[in-house]
Amino acid sequence: MRAWAHYLSQDHAEETEDPSKHLDANILVRVDSREKKLIECLRKRMEIPFCVETLRVGDVILGSFPYEIYIERKAVCDLVSSVFDCRLVNQIGNQLHHTEYCRLQSLVIVEGDFSELNQPMPHLRHLKKLSYEGLRNLALATMVRLSLRDQLPVLRSDNLQGTAELINVISLEYPKLLKMRPLQYGSRKERPFRSRRGENPKETLASQLRCVRGVSEQAGRRLARNHDHVQSFLSAMLASADPVQWLVDKANIGKNSSPLRRPTAVRLAETLAGKDTLQRENFTSSLEAIQGISRTSATALVGHFSTRENMQQFLEGQQDPVGALSELFPRLSRPAKVSLVEELAGKEGP
């Protein structure tokens, strides 16, 4: 499905000229002469000049060939009626034929309130058998089919003035559509944080952190200290060498403070920044699981080698990996060094 600007601004092999050259400032909008009420309304609201013609296709045409946008205006009652007498199919077909079946250059504006279907319609005798709910559901279903099944843009307006306003906005946007490429929405945009009036940003951040299971009110307030919003807090956490230890240390500052347990810190770091943040913590835990290596020793090993791959390459490159570890970590017991070498390098210690 192509967006408006995708068709209007795409590079055609046979077209080398700038599409904006097709703009005619004097005749940008053409309105069907039979749309008398719409013409009168446009004269009051239109910011760009338009001309009145007897159009063979559509009610309004914006732009110049081959970048024309055809607009079909349908009141709610007329939309339902045109489904029964096949006018809608023929009108949409004519518009698509003139746009070489570029569906997003053919637009339908559905005008009016659905309550109009509940009023007597003597000129629409074939609709008398349907209840108001039936007519309303048919109108909604037709709009859904046009949008999703037929991939045609459908806009809604409350009344004739709203339709004129939509046409005016489209005509003002038309020059931009010729020049702009469609947005791909591939990356996320973060809105700068702004606290609400009368709201304490630190209290808001503390409340957000307490949403993670295990974070107490006191720990949340200590973590939120010196940070006004989540982005600032997250940036500081990720800038540290060990995000989990950073959370533990920051939450346990102060005398009468309830400690932040390490499993809770792990859960908080994973919630805020994803599982990749726990790479260092997972490495530490895997070393701690080796017989003879304590948490303190595992932390020291991780601090020196950073990653499991670095440690593995170091041990595999040594003729005596146990002796090399003894030089770096003399307090580590020999059985622990042997187990570590066997686990990471697959070598048996001497």
For the segment 274-287, what is each residue's pLDDT rounded down to a tens digit? 776 677 778 888 88
Alpha-helical runs (H) found in the chain? 4-9, 36-45, 76-84, 87-98, 132-144, 160-179, 201-209, 217-224, 230-239, 243-251, 262-273, 279-288, 295-305, 308-316, 321-328, 334-344
What own/partner pairs with CB < 8 Å and gap ≥ 24 does 134-137 have? 135/80
Residue 74: phi and psi, rounded to 5, are -130, 120
State the pLDDT at residue 345.
72
Is-contact 130 138, C-beta < 8 A?
A: yes
Q: Cα separation of 1 and 102, whole Å? A: 10
Task: Tell me what percent of the residues of the chain surpass a pLDDT of 90.
Answer: 24
Give ∠ CA 269-275-278 in degrees, rounded to 5: 60
pTM to 2 decimals? 0.53
Q: Cα separation of 135 and 74, whole Å? A: 15
State the pLDDT at residue 14.
43
Q: How many CB atoms lie within 10 A of CB 98?
A: 19
Bridge partners of residue 52, in order along the sequence: 31
**Of the candidate ranges 37-41, 131-135, 158-162, 179-183, the one whose mean pLDDT is the lowest:** 179-183
pLDDT tens for each residue of 205-263: 888 888 888 888 888 888 888 887 788 888 888 787 778 888 888 887 766 556 788 88
Q: Is residue 95 classed as helix, strand or coil in its secondary structure? A: helix
Q: For the chain, what is the mean pLDDT?
A: 81
The type of residue at 91 is Q
Is-contact 38 162, C-beta < 8 A?
A: no
Higher pLDDT, 8 or 113: 113
- 126 contact partners, CB below 8 Å, separation of at least 6: 84
The type of residue at 198 is G
In the numeric block, which tokens belong to residue 99? 């746009």
